[in-house]
Chain A
């Protein structure tokens, strides 16, 4: 690719592309880790809770093993997370000026309520095994888990506000604080970018904007799935290898219950989230399903591809299913892209456009349909596969076959579980891509375009420099992470004899395994 500097007229395109690529790359890499921390955090609370309740030292060793895995994911999550906070200012300065009033406060609240809680108690969780009592340690584990959930709350609230802005008004900045409130239907002009700001009206309306509850639930359940399937994967690996069998059986049980709860709830949450998209972002919904024409009995495509030239979708379809899922009515048509946004909307923004030009202008308000169609269907497909896996697991458990590694079916199932860890990770990333690509061209939905949010003083070359820098650093980090995770898995949990560092106050909790009630 030939590099052009900022003086050339098309530099903005290039800057926009690079800035978006950098943001996507850094956040997608970052987002490998927080879901693991959130999900594993819950798993740790469960394991330590069982240990305290039953006094079965197996669960103590289990919690310690998963804590070490947790520490690894957490440290990379923290390190790559600081990048995200800086990037709003470095690459998206105009956006930051425009929404600082709202987005900034959510971010600051995340810092005060979540990060301090997490990082403070993390020290006790990781290093406090010999320093505090078991109850205090359990409390710390709960606080770390709570902190990581708070963090998800605030960042998803901030992101949801960008999807469905609420509780704000626009203000034109005058000299010496003489600001003018703009009407609700005001259409932002390019010249306004230096003077118009979104200002908060109602904090709670901003926090509980139309999409935040659905998206938060969906995100947290996705994170739980990521953590649960990691537990499942490593436990299944030990079972197959016949190593640490007691640990693996107990861990698999915890993991399977947790994964089942998360996955089944995720189906409900996914449906509710999609219905929210129907209400709040109908263009996104039409794009992810590749619906161009508005017709009754709108079909649902299971998988396939979109041909944007002919505006058709190829692949197996269920007639009327999309209408049913959106409106609980097989007949009610889903509004297609060719009618969105409406002619009135477009005429208000392009008063000089002729009716023949409108279809072309309309396309500027669509995301890249074939792309979001694929990311969305990838997420749905993996979600379905995860559901299949947990149901199969529950069935095998009920039959008493789940831990019978001599059985061929069980072996195949455990092999599937070993690889299943990738599933929720890919689905989380695909879901994020769907949410963010699907709302393009907007950075703040219906208000500010992504191309308008860039930093004015940052050149394409600078972004390219930092992108290459991050690509190299992250590649190295990822390689080391995978290596160390493999090492930890190979090392495995400690057996009872090895955990001799346990102080006397902790040992008193141990109930002999034979007497311990089955968890």
Chain B
């Protein structure tokens, strides 16, 4: 494997880590307004309280790795998706501070205001992430200098908008399963009740989205024919997701959550295996596309960064597990948390 391929994999792993981890706390945000009691909302916030910040770091590191390993792709995508990314930043800011500010005052209007900021911020953030993914999958117009040659309207195409909504659903389901794991009693009953419905809707969207992809992105079918193992991963994904209701029914929330994580990983793997070697596909002029090769930084940098990754990742994994272990079990309310 050459450096660009390794780095495609690393950036993919980091973004998958982000989807799996921040996915559930964005999902918790999306579901936040569906419970009305103050204590329930506080439990929602405290369920993600110790971990959301670390989860968001995966995005920062994913972005940093993209910048270092594929500066051309980073520059093209970030300048091309200017308005959606600026909105995404605002959403992430509002979410972050809403979690911190919300329970600092007892007034209903204050709490309601930050609840709405937290929930809308989470929903819109999930949507915009999906929208960006949709455009990457579908391809965006690039000029001969690999610069984005479209406009905001180009980005708001039906396919990407659909993926935006699908992402909100995927994250909501993921969040609901996480909540089922972290809550107990009445609240857990409410949350568990949502899961079958969410799985149903998500499956509908998933099937529809796959057909839409075949129509909208002809290259996908070609690639899958050449790389038939992708079919296997997709089938596995469906089985894993369908296993979730069973685990929930048996009261094994932890297994359900693992399945949900695995489902997200398989989804991202499907995308990565289909998309390689592209970094940013150019449509209609495919020759202007950025691939892992023409978007890559020098092999010196990729080599150094690989050493940094090899040193850093075991540390990161060690304390990520450590944190999740310390904060395992059901969330409890105390006077000092959110």
Contacts and interface: CB of A to CB of B under 8 A. Distances in A.
A107 B75 contact: no
B12 to A, nearest CB: 15
A462 interface: yes
Interface stretch (B30-38, B227-235, B260-268, B296-304): B296-304
A200 B71 CA distance: 13
Contacts of A93: 75-76, 78-79, 147
Given A76-B96, A116-B316, 4 more contacts: A78-B56, A86-B89, A120-B54, A203-B304
Contact of A105 (B53, B304, B319, B322): B304
A90 B57 contact: no
A122 B53 contact: yes
A102 B301 contact: yes
Interface of A: 71-72, 75-76, 78-83, 85-86, 88-91, 93-94, 96-97, 99-105, 107-113, 115-117, 119-124, 126-132, 171, 177, 194, 197, 199-201, 203, 455-458, 462, 465-466, 469-470, 473, 477, 480, 484, 487, 501
Interface in B304-321: 304-305, 308-309, 312-313, 315-316, 319-320
Contacts of B312: 109, 112-113, 116
Contacts of B224: none
Given A94-B75, A110-B64, A116-B57, A123 B89 contact: no
B65 interface: yes
B74 interface: yes
B219 interface: no
Given A96-B67, A120-B323, A177 B97 contact: no
Contacts of A465: 83, 86
Given A127-B50, A177-B293, A477 B93 contact: yes
Interface residues of B, number: 71
B127 to A, nearest CB: 17
A456 B79 contact: yes
B43 interface: no
Contacts of A113: 308, 312
Contacts of B64: 85, 104, 107-112
B206 interface: no
Contact of A115 (B60, B99, B145): B60
Interface in B88-146: 89-90, 92-94, 96-97, 99-101, 104-105, 145
A7 B159 CA distance: 30
Interface stretch (B163-171, B177-185, B251-259, B329-337): B329-337
Given A75-B97, A112-B316, A480-B97, A462 B71 contact: no
Given A97-B75, A104-B68, A200-B300, A90 B53 contact: no
Interface of B: 49-51, 53-54, 56-57, 59-61, 63-65, 67-72, 74-83, 85-87, 89-90, 92-94, 96-97, 99-101, 104-105, 145, 147-149, 293, 297-298, 300-301, 304-305, 308-309, 312-313, 315-316, 319-320, 322-323, 326-327, 334-337
B252 to A, nearest CB: 24
A110 B81 CA distance: 24
Contacts of A466: 82-83, 86
A477 B316 CA distance: 30
Contacts of B322: 120
Nearest to B317: A116
B320 A458 contact: no
Contacts of B96: 75-76, 78-79
A104 B61 CA distance: 11
A171 B300 CA distance: 13
A89 B77 contact: yes
Contacts of A116: 54, 57, 61, 312, 315-316, 319-320
B298 A199 contact: yes
A123 B99 CA distance: 14
Interface-central residue, B59, B85, B97, B145, by most chain A CB under 10 Å: B97
A43 to B, nearest CB: 20
Contacts of A473: 90, 93-94
6 closest cross-chain pairs (CB), A and B: A100-B71, A89-B78, A104-B68, A111-B61, A104-B67, A123-B50
A31 B67 CA distance: 22
B85 A90 contact: yes
Contacts of A480: 97, 101
Contacts of B65: 108, 111
6 contacts: A90-B86, A96-B67, A108-B69, A199-B301, A457-B148, A501-B334
Contacts of B80: 457
